[in-house]
Amino acid sequence: MILLFAAFAVKAQDNAVQPMDGTECSNLFFKALLEEDSNVLSNLLANDFTVVSFQGQTVDGGQLHQAVAEGHIVIESGMLSGARTRTYGDVAVVTGQWSAKGRIENNGFQGELSYMTVCVKSGGRWKVSAVQFTPIQ
**What is the mean predicted confidence (pLDDT) over 84-99?**
97
In a domain, 8, yes or no: no
Long-range contacts of 96-99 (CB under 8 A, 24+ apart): 97/136, 98/30, 98/133
The CATH number given to whatever domain includes residue 80 is: 3.10.450.50
In a domain, 86, yes or no: yes
Label residue 15 by pLDDT band (50, 70, 90): low
In a domain, 7, yes or no: no
Q: In the predicted model, is pLDDT for residue 77 greater than 60?
A: yes
Q: In the predicted model, is pLDDT for residue 32 greater than 60?
A: yes
Q: In the predicted model, is pLDDT for residue 9 greater than 80?
A: no
Q: What is the DSSP string of the chain?
A: -HHHHHHHHHHHHHTS---SSHHHHHHHHHHHHHTT-HHHHHHHEEEEEEEE-TTS-EEEHHHHHHHHHTTSEEEEEEEEEEEEEEEETTEEEEEEEEEEEEEETTEEEEEEEEEEEEEEEETTEEEEEEEEEEE--
In a domain, 95, yes or no: yes
CB 28 within 8 A of CB 44: yes
pLDDT at 11: 41
Average pLDDT in the chain: 88
**What is the mean predicted confidence (pLDDT) over 60-70?**
93
| The total number of structural domains that make up the chain | 1
**pLDDT tens digit sequence for 78-89:** 999 999 999 999
Q: In the predicted model, is pLDDT for residue 12 greater than 60?
A: no
pLDDT at 5: 38
In a domain, 72, yes or no: yes
**What is the mean predicted confidence (pLDDT) over 39-64?**
93
pTM of the entire predicted model: 0.85
In a domain, 1, yes or no: no
**Dihedral sign, Cα of residue 81, residue 38, residue 18, residue 22:** positive
In a domain, 50, yes or no: yes
Percent of the chain with pLDDT over 90: 77
In a domain, 3, yes or no: no
Domain holding 32, by residue range, is 21-135
